[in-house]
Amino acid sequence: MTAANTRADFNQPLYQGANVGDLVASAIARGGERVAFISDDTRWTYRELGAKVSQVVQALAARGLRRGDAVATLSANRPEAFLITAAAYLMGLRLTWMNPTSSEDDHAYILEDSGVTTLFFCPKTFGDRTRVLRQRVPGVQRAMSFGDSGGLGEDLLAAAATHTPGPLLPQAEPEDVCVLIYTGGTTGRPKGVAHTHRVHVTMILTEMADWDWPREIRFLALTPITHASGAMIMPVLLKSGTYAMTQGFTPEKFIRLVEQHRITATFLVPTMVYVLLDSPARAGADLSSLQLIIYGASPMSPARLTEGIREFGPVFMQLYAQSEAPNTVTVLHQHEHDPVHHPERLASCGTPCVGTQVRLLDDDGREVPRGEVGEICVRGPLVMQGYWNKPEETAKALRHGWLYTGDMARQDADGFLYIVDRSKDMIISGGFNVYPREVEDALSQHPAVAAAAVVGVPDAKWGEAVRALVVLRPGASVAAEKLMAELMAFVRDKKGAVYTPKAIDFVDALPVTGLGKLDKKAIRAQFWHGQGRAVH
């Protein structure tokens, strides 16, 4: 089977941009007999991938799916889920990846809000959820499963197998909405971020151009491919690499898969790095194949990052972005992780990616002086079209000709950005602005601290008081009252009295979301219930 990178309609404007379907066809044509995907016992070459994508496209077309139709996937990490993504890119469908860790209510809301008519699902892990969702959401007219589902939905794989593989013909236009990515909103309902093919082509090409990819890519995804790690599939494929995926993270699983497949690149959120650093499973493990650890989604403690560089070598690269401008707002390259000559940069999220315009602005759209705190704002072809069905939310985010990210940062003389915190997470204590990230970084420098989270809590005197939750390193055994006083003095010495926590709670683990991000909403809820501050 030959993947032809040819549009079905040859009458395109001379300067028409590529769509993501063009990139899919190009990647498959380049890959040949190299291995594209690995998952458990599944191994697909690029040639096999191309045949499967073509068969899925034909099966969907035979069932009446056309450009602009809305579809969704509900699946754990498995290559079959990417078949739907690739087919949607080629056919010009509007695809919603549903976070597998979300609640039933969120899944139902997303299906209704996005107008999905066809739901693709993994029968082993989401059969029961799909049955309930079909009852709750009448708009879902069809369910198709990755394998036999006992009659709950038509078997997509069996349907696709009845078709003969043929050329891959991209149907979409650059300004078609290709993906809706749902993210949490301050209203309590998820917001659908509408991305055009223009956005995703920009993201993919920027990832390829500005990231520190190894020469031979064997990538391991453990976080849900509905989010950041899934946005790395296309650059891996375009470089004819191998993308390995699995469900869930443990240090033992990570080590086993790295050793088994000689993994050269991966994506980890900071909490995973911390767990890996503290795990006894690393003793005797061979992780020498790792040449790139991409991290992001939440800040990493500079102290723990230094430890990671010492243990794994100069393999770390940080991405900073958000759903509204995916994966490529800024990058801190491997060579910029320099704990000897520039230790301060370990707290930075780097410099703007090539082609991405970034400024620190105030609420009125004015750039703040260098060294002062402003909101990170982005413009250019990476920026979302808007929030689906939410014009007021879109207007709040897209103003003065920029995307306002909600992240507050400073910029140093060399252009490196330092995120101080989310604007909504800032603590106002006694009239002073306190950025929790800076307190967390200070606490994490103490040798007894494995991880820390800081929030503002209601206080009759100060309005809000700084409160910290701390996870101790294995083996740290000091009386709580003595250690609390020691940590308070430690922060006071580094940041001053205003930043010093008024109380510290020692916990076994910090709450995280299904994507591994620190869940400050859950932490604040412990202290603000009934107190009047929005817990979002």
Phi, psi at 11, each rounded to 5°: -90, 65
The C-alpha atoms of residue 375 and residue 64 are separated, in whole angstroms, by: 46
The C-alpha atoms of residue 393 and residue 349 are separated, in whole angstroms, by: 26
Do the bridges between strand 142-145 and strand 218-221 make them parallel or antiparallel, or are there none, so unpaired? unpaired
pLDDT (0 to 100) of residue 481: 76
The C-alpha atoms of residue 287 and residue 202 are separated, in whole angstroms, by: 32
Do the bridges between strand 398-399 and strand 402-411 make them parallel or antiparallel, or are there none, so unpaired? antiparallel
On whether the CB atoms of residues 228 and 325 are closer than 8 A, the answer is no
Superfamily of domain 426-528: ANL, C-terminal domain (3.30.300.30)
Residues 6 or more apart in contact with residue 397 via CB below 8 angstroms: 324, 386, 387, 403, 404
Residue 184 has pLDDT above 90, yes or no: no
Which residues are paired to 422 by β-bridges?
407
* Token pair of 177 as six digits: 């909405």
CA nearest to 465, candidates 519, 427, 439:
427
Residue 125 has pLDDT above 70, yes or no: yes
Phi, psi at 64, each rounded to 5°: 90, 5
- Alpha carbon dihedral 324, 184, 351, 359, in 10-degree steps, equals 60
Q: Do domains 20-196 and 211-423 have the same CATH topology?
A: yes
* Residue 408 DSSP label: E
pLDDT (0 to 100) of residue 14: 84
Cβ count near 400 (within 10 Å): 13
Quick check: helix, strand or coil at residue 418?
Answer: strand
One-character DSSP codes across 157-191: HHHHTTS----------TTSEEEEEEE--TTSS-E
The C-alpha atoms of residue 336 and residue 291 are separated, in whole angstroms, by: 15
When pLDDT is cut at 50, 70 and 90, the band that residue 478 belongs to is low
The C-alpha atoms of residue 297 and residue 289 are separated, in whole angstroms, by: 24
- Highest-confidence range of 193-197, 244-248, 297-301, 427-431, by mean pLDDT? 193-197
Residue 395 identity: A
On whether the CB atoms of residues 83 and 53 are closer than 8 A, the answer is yes
CA nearest to 282, candidates 303, 299, 258, 266:
258
Domain at 211-423: CATH architecture: 3-Layer(aba) Sandwich (3.40)
Do the bridges between strand 292-295 and strand 316-322 make them parallel or antiparallel, or are there none, so unpaired? parallel
Quick check: helix, strand or coil at residue 332?
Answer: strand
CA nearest to 199, candidates 230, 229, 178:
178
Query: How confident is the model over 8-44, as pLDDT tens digits?
Result: 455 668 888 899 999 999 999 999 999 999 999 899 9
CA atoms within 13 Å, Cβ hemisphere of 248:
5
On whether the CB atoms of residues 65 and 87 are closer than 8 A, the answer is no
Do the bridges between strand 265-268 and strand 218-221 make them parallel or antiparallel, or are there none, so unpaired? parallel
When pLDDT is cut at 50, 70 and 90, the band that residue 432 belongs to is low
Q: In what order do the strands lie in the sheet with 503-506?
A: 449-459, 463-472, 503-506
Query: How confident is the model over 492-534, as pLDDT tens digits?
Result: 888 878 789 998 989 988 888 766 677 887 888 787 654 444 3
* Residue 152 DSSP label: S
The C-alpha atoms of residue 430 and residue 129 are separated, in whole angstroms, by: 48
Instruction: Give the C-alpha distances (Å, rounded to integers) separating 422 from 68, 322, 427.
Output: 35, 12, 10
- Highest-confidence range of 9-18, 416-425, 437-446, 507-516, by mean pLDDT? 437-446
pLDDT (0 to 100) of residue 234: 98
Instruction: Give the C-alpha distances (Å, rounded to integers) separating 48 from 52, 102, 189, 220, 238.
Output: 6, 32, 40, 20, 16
Cβ count near 494 (within 10 Å): 16
Query: How confident is the model over 278-330, as pLDDT tens digits?
Result: 999 999 999 999 999 999 877 788 889 999 999 999 999 999 999 999 999 99
When pLDDT is cut at 50, 70 and 90, the band that residue 1 belongs to is very low
On whether the CB atoms of residues 422 and 428 are closer than 8 A, the answer is no
* Residue 139 DSSP label: T
On whether the CB atoms of residues 329 and 320 are closer than 8 A, the answer is yes
The residues spanned by each domain of the chain are 20-196, 211-423, 426-528
pLDDT (0 to 100) of residue 190: 82
The C-alpha atoms of residue 365 and residue 475 are separated, in whole angstroms, by: 50
* Residue 230 DSSP label: G
Instruction: Look up the CATH number of domain 20-196.
Output: 3.40.50.980
